[in-house]
């Protein structure tokens, strides 16, 4: 094939392509045209392949002309496509008039989950009392979760916590935040400690309206010279009145935890005028909010402290349980459902 004939074919392709393009007005037809001329097996690809059939001296001129025509067709296609889109938009607006002066729809903002909000309130209260916040790991070993907390192997107190064990012997998901006591003591010994240890805990329990397999806890730990039960009572009273109201009274009951001695459970009185009072307190007028006690000497030793020189107290509470008490929530499972009807109440 001579360069003259090849160039004539290129000019004919350009003329035909432009004529076909001018007759098209909608986007699908334009895209079909683009495929016809610029697809892998399109006419421009076929024209460019003819370069190899020309004599070497004629290839440059043919290639330059082919590239020029390719650019002309591309520019014409882009203009036609933009025009088709503009016409489609105008047609759409005329069929469904849109008042562009109207304000946009407001964006619905998220909010802090009620359990997180209570956790932050608890942090704030204890921070004001000089406590520092420390986070510890959720995957624990048997030593920290049980043995260092005065529960050697086969101790019956271990039955108080139904445990998720892993496939690695001695490794488990922590059943309470109390293992954090050992970590914090070993980090700061022999200095005094005043810390709260929040985090997630896991227990292999049946899921009911009052229990979940995962839940949050906040552990508190104070260690120093001459720390007494009176200090524990004063701290708990100040906390309860900040969270539930200055008029609240607390009641202390004897209890048992292997890592504290003596051990107590703490109740607060509930306003009688609250319509939920009888249901929440089961007619007693009191609500349990936490367990606490003086740190057992064995736990102090395992943390690196000398129980003859220092003493301490610890307490633990469930923020979700406290939220249930504060807002008369009947079902702990609501915290994990992400049901907007529940969450939007707060």
Which position has the token pair 């037809």?
29
Do 151 and 258 touch, CB atoms closer than 8 A? yes
C-alpha span between 184 and 194 (Å, rounded): 10
Give the helix ranges, DSSP H, for 153-228: 179-188
Which position has the token pair 């610029």?
38
C-alpha span between 84 and 79 (Å, rounded): 9
* Of the listed ranges 113-122, 205-214, 257-266, 314-323, the one predicted with least confidence: 205-214
pLDDT tens figures, 41-57:
888 888 777 777 778 87
For residue 3, pLDDT beyond 60: no
pLDDT tens figures, 103-131:
888 887 778 888 889 999 999 999 999 99
For residue 256, give the H/E element and its range: strand 250-257
Three-state DSSP class for residue 78: helix
- Superfamily for domain range 114-343: Bira Bifunctional Protein; Domain 2 (3.30.930.10)
Three-state DSSP class for residue 92: helix
Average pLDDT over residues 228-237: 96
- What is the value of pTM for the model shown? 0.66
Do 220 and 319 touch, CB atoms closer than 8 A? no
C-alpha span between 37 and 45 (Å, rounded): 8
**Side-chain half-sphere CA neighbours of 345 within 13 A:** 11
Which position has the token pair 């076909």?
20
Average pLDDT over residues 140-149: 94
C-alpha span between 334 and 329 (Å, rounded): 8
pLDDT tens figures, 264-291:
999 988 877 777 767 667 777 888 889 9
Do 203 and 162 touch, CB atoms closer than 8 A? yes
Centre a 10 Å sphere on the Cβ of residue 199 and count the other Cβ atoms it contains.
18
233 vs 157, higher pLDDT? 233
C-alpha span between 124 and 158 (Å, rounded): 33
For residue 6, pLDDT beyond 60: yes
């Amino acid at each position: 094939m001579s360069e003259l004939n090849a160039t004539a074919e290129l000019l004919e392709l350009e003329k035909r392509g432009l004529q076909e393009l001018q007759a098209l007005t909608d986007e699908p037809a334009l895209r079909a045209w683009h495929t016809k001329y610029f697809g892998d097996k399109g006419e421009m690809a076929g024209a460019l392949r003819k370069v190899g059939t020309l004599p070497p001296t004629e290839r440059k001129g043919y290639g330059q002309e082919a590239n020029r025509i390719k650019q002309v067709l591309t520019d014409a296609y882009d203009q036609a496509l933009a025009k088709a889109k503009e016409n489609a938009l105008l047609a759409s607006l005329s069929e469904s008039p849109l008042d562009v002066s109207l304000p946009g729809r407001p964006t619905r903002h998220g909010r802090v989950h009620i359990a997180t909000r209570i956790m932050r309130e608890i942090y704030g209260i204890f921070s004001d009392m000089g406590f520092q916040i420390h986070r510890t790991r959720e995957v624990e070993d048997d030593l920290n979760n049980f043995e260092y907390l005065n529960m050697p192997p086969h101790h019956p107190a271990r039955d108080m916590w139904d445990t998720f064990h892993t496939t690695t012997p001695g490794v488990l998901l922590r059943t309470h935040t109390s293992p954090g006591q050992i970590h914090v003591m070993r980090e700061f010994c022999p200095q005094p400690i005043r810390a709260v240890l929040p985090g997630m805990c896991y227990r292999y329990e049946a899921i009911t309206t009052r229990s979940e397999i995962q839940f949050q806890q906040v552990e508190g730990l104070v260690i120093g010279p001459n720390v007494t039960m009176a200090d524990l009572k004063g701290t708990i009273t100040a906390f309860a009145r900040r969270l539930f109201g200055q008029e609240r009274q607390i009641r202390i009951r004897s209890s048992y935890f292997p890592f504290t001695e003596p051990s107590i459970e703490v109740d607060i009185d509930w306003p009688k005028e609250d319509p939920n009072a009888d249901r929440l307190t089961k007619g007693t007028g009191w609500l349990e909010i936490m367990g606490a006690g003086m740190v057992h000497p064995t736990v102090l030793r395992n943390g690196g402290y000398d129980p003859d020189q220092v003493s301490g107290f610890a307490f633990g509470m469930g923020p979700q349980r406290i939220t249930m008490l504060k807002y008369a929530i009947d079902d702990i499972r609501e915290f994990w459902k992400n049901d907007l009807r529940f969450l939007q109440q707060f």
